[in-house]
Amino acid sequence: MFAADAACQKYLADCHWPDGFMCPRCRYRSSYEIVKARRWQCTRCRYQVSLTAGTILHNTKTPLTVWFWAAYLMTTDKRGVSALLLERQLGVRRYETAWMLLHKLRQAMVNVARERLHGEVEVDEAWIGGAQAGLRGSRQLRGRKAALIVVAVEKRGRATGRARMAVIPDFRSGTLIAFLRQNVAPGSLVYTDALNSFAGLEEAGFRHVSRIQPTRAELHRGAKSAVPLSFAPRWSHSQLIMSTRFKKAMSRRRLGW
């Protein structure tokens, strides 16, 4: 069905206009297709409509056949498809291209009206982008090249449940509480570290437990984690998600996609 870009464009047009083309400017129903530009042009007012505008395909230089193959492989393999496997199967030249395809397809599959996290939730912030010389402490924002993120992880028994992440501009209380109000249901039990910015969680409608987590060296020496959601001596739920391997694999550019 989708052996060529023209067939893919025809499918996108049918999805965009299930009842036939209608010009968004003059409401005229007659048009012709500009295949190479991936656009349709109204025969009355000459207004051009892009088939990919407003979608994850916007301004893509990758052939639509590759996009369609990626969507097919991703949605038919119940084990999930890695970017490395997708790179090999699609024959794309760069790993980054395969990673971008997967990331955007996953982004499109997110349900905007999804249920917020609830129950017991662990929240923490971290820098994504690796260590940087010349900075004074982890709270310094000026001159920092890494991206600051906040993550909330739901507890499901002894396992990690759903997670929510966001890139944030600063450590301020308003920024962190706004993220929690958007992603965590009111009344949930929220575990955090002793950062002062989390002090207003009770007033925001959450049950709040603040703990001072031992350092990694202290955990190696046998100290117990202060966060009750931890299911292993060294790791809490949020620490697992924000592990060193994850941080090294990400960058500010990729987080923005």
- Each residue's pLDDT expressed in tens, for the chain with a length of 257 residues: 999 998 998 898 898 888 888 898 998 988 888 878 888 899 999 999 888 888 889 888 899 999 999 999 988 887 888 999 999 999 998 999 999 999 999 888 877 778 899 999 999 888 787 666 666 656 666 666 778 889 999 988 777 888 898 998 888 899 999 999 999 999 999 999 888 888 889 999 999 998 876 777 777 887 766 655 444 434 455 555 555 445 545 555 555 54
Q: What is the identity of the amino acid at 97?
A: T
pTM > 0.85: no
- Rounded to whole angstroms, the Cα distance separating 253 from 164 reads 19
- Are 180 and 173 in contact by the 8 Å Cβ rule? The answer is no
* Residue 257, pLDDT score: 43
Q: What is the DSSP string of 56-70?
A: TTTT--S-HHHHHHH
Phi-psi region of 90 (alpha: psi -120 to 50; beta: other; left: phi over 0): alpha
Report in angstroms the alpha-carbon separations of 244 from 16, 127, 129, 131, 139: 43, 11, 10, 11, 18
The pLDDT tens digits for 4-40 are 998 998 898 898 888 888 898 998 988 888 878 888 8
* Residue 236, pLDDT score: 52
* Residue 77, pLDDT score: 83
